[in-house]
A and B are shown apart, each in its own frame.
Chain A
Amino acid sequence: MEGLFFNVNGGYIEGVVRGYRNSLLNGQNYSNLTQCETIDDVKLQLSPAYGDFLASLPPNPSTSSLANKTTDKLVAEFRYIQGQAVGTLAKFMEYLTYGYMIDNVALLITGTLHERDTRELLERCHPLGWFETMPVLCVATNIEELYNSVLIETPLAAYFKGSLSHQDLDELNIEIIRNTLYKNYLEDFYKFVTEHPELKDTPTSEVMAEVLEFEADRRAINITLNSFGTELSKQDRNKLYPSFGGLYPEGTLMLSRADDIEGVSLAVSGNHDYKSYFDSVGMSGGMGGSGPGNMSGGGGSDGKSLEDMFYQKEMEISKSAFTRQFTHAVIYAWVKLREQEIRNITWIAECIAQNQKERIGNYISVF
């Protein structure tokens, strides 16, 4: 039934996004890219997909400018789709941008805290996370003003409310603020896709629930792993875990009590996928010495780290999202796939630029 009226509003956009999906680089393209000797060759190989955007680059561009230009293309296409979106889809796309907004706001808060000229920071903000009132953030000179008069006006106000006071902004580490915001955002997004009357029980909610649950789990695991050896206490850590996801609530509880990598491994052992990741990177065997998540460490049997595994999994979920029809989730999946593509290109370009070809195959390609 859900397909009956979907195309009235979403048909065109879905078509466009599927078209975009087809222009993503595939395995063949990637293997061509890895054969390149110089950045110019990379540029040449990318020209069918990114032609217009790379044309203005000087010969032998830096990898960061390459990444910027490829991001520009993503932004341009995203803006186009956003321009077409109506109703729940428009709302859905706004939710997509909130993640980037959180990064931008965190950046600006950092700037304000250190009393820098935040206008310079506007250029560094991710273009997808741009919102109209963002330049206003720069007006605030102290953190109280920022909190009381400016942040309230942003779309993120709801995420600040109730969990962070303006004293917190001053005292807490910016990373904790960022992750608190992100947790609230994920929970809100999850609630939106599962409970909104127009999205409930549609393919959108099914696919997005899977994606977001995975995202929540990934964050919980990563936060736990990364907090070892830092001043982040277990109580604070517990507050950063999203309150849904495959691990919630038992796994999350165990994560909040974990003291080391083995504890994390034990906490996720209820989930077959995560358990197999931990097993394959050899961390459950107590090889924590080299550290999890490092890509070159001796832990991974085939050079893959936990982070790589998560990315791989995310890409697979995103790819399978395209098997469903009449759903907004394809847009999310497309954005994620494109982001991964940009990361892959940057990685390959970096490997070529630094002449470190042995690890060039570390990119993640799902097509």
Chain B
Amino acid sequence: MSGAGDREAVFPTRQSLGAMKNKLKGAETGHSLLKRKSEALTKYRAEITRRIDEAKRKMGRVMQIAAFSLAEVTYAVGGDIGYQIQESAKQARFRVRTKQENVSGVFLPQFESYTTEGNNDFGLTGLGKGGQQVQRCRETYTRAVETLVELASLQTAFVTLDEVIKVVNRRVNAIEHVIIPRTENTIKYINSELDELDREEFYRLKKVKSNKQRDNNAAEQEEKASKRRGSDKENADDPGATDILGEQEDQDVIF
């Protein structure tokens, strides 16, 4: 085989050589673009990882405070108010909306939390005693849930990003290690085939030329030989030399 590696099944023609060259150029451009994208994404992922780390630490602290404020409520109210709270909550006060962020062509989902104002379903809980603690506890838990939403947003972004980075890296590697070498191989193969053809052609031409020359030479020789033979005969007896003034009857010239 010409070319050590695999190559594409093309006919080694000039046209396909041109196509291959275009393809190689395209692959190289694509490779550098993808490489840059992958680098950008990896950088972004590192940033997200750092933020996830921060958010997780924050969550630990906030959840601890929140759990403790619940303990305060239990202490102040002196009983379980869970059922009452559950039943009196009718509408979600804390809501989450999603949006998309575009990071080098990747759409990352983002969660955004917001509280609907004026929605205070259990504002009267613990009216007799412990109401302040209940409200405070709600605030701390709101903060805790905010942290959770933030973390969820980051984690989802991370997972999506990770997937995309994997795909991009796979593409980069595929281009770098498969497509480019293969195209190069093909080009090499086409080149070598074309050279081969060239050489064959050249050889053929040479052969034709040499044959022709040989033939010419032979013809020349023969001509020469026959010429020499002819002059000898002329010299020896020249039957052709007729006496035009002789007695041979002239042929009638008929007009």
Contact = CB atoms under 8 A, between A and B. Distances in A.
A182 interface: yes
Contact of A293 (B76, B88, B120): B76
23 contacts: A63-B71, A107-B84, A110-B88, A116-B87, A175-B125, A175-B127, A218-B129, A219-B129, A222-B128, A222-B131, A226-B127, A226-B135, A229-B123, A231-B120, A232-B124, A291-B132, A291-B135, A293-B130, A293-B132, A294-B133, A295-B72, A307-B130, A307-B133
A179 B88 contact: no
Contacts of B126: 175, 226
The main secondary structure of chain A at its interface with chain B is helix
A307 B135 CA distance: 14
Nearest to B71: A350
Contacts of A294: 72, 132-133, 136
- The 3 A-B pairs of least Cβ separation, nearest first, read A226-B131, A293-B132, A175-B124
A339 B78 contact: yes
B72 A111 contact: no
Contacts of B75: 295, 343, 346-347, 350, 362
A101 to B, nearest CB: 13
Interface string A299-321: 00000010100000000000000
A307 B83 contact: no
B6 to A, nearest CB: 64
A351 B67 CA distance: 10
Contact of A307 (B84, B123, B129): B129
Interface string A122-134: 0010100000000
A292 interface: yes
B52 to A, nearest CB: 24
Contacts of A107: 83-84
Interface residues of A, number: 51
A121 B123 contact: no
Interface in A336-363: 339, 343, 346-347, 350-351, 354, 356, 359, 362
Contact of A230 (B78, B123, B128): B123
A33 interface: no
B127 A110 contact: no
Contact of A292 (B84, B88, B123, B132): B132
Nearest to B134: A226
A103 B135 CA distance: 20
A138 to B, nearest CB: 15
A287 interface: no
Nearest to A176: B124
Contact of A354 (B64, B124, B136): B64
B78 A179 contact: no
Most B Cβ at <10 Å: residue of A121, A124, A226, A351: A226
B68 A110 contact: no
A196 interface: no
A345 to B, nearest CB: 11
B80 interface: yes
A93 B181 CA distance: 94
A362 B72 CA distance: 10
Nearest to B76: A307
A174 interface: yes
Interface residues of B, number: 29
B191 interface: no
Contacts of A67: 74
Nearest to A297: B136
Contacts of B128: 178-179, 182, 219, 222-223
A231 B132 contact: no
Nearest to A363: B75
B122 to A, nearest CB: 8
Contacts of A202: none
B79 interface: yes
Contacts of B74: 67, 346, 350
A45 interface: no
A354 B67 contact: yes
Contact of B83 (A110, A126, A219, A356): A110
Nearest to A340: B78
A227 B127 contact: yes
Interface string B40-75: 000000000000000000000000100110011011
Contacts of B120: 229-231
A167 to B, nearest CB: 19
Nearest to A183: B128
A173 interface: yes
Contacts of A362: 75
A246 B76 CA distance: 23
Contacts of B72: 294-296
A126 B88 contact: no
Interface in A215-245: 218-219, 222-223, 225-227, 229-232, 240
A116 B88 CA distance: 13
A114 interface: yes
Contacts of A359: 68
A110 B78 contact: no
Interface string A64-100: 1001000000000000000000000000000000000
A231 B84 contact: no
Contacts of B87: 110-111, 113-114, 116
A230 B67 contact: no
Contacts of A225: 131-132
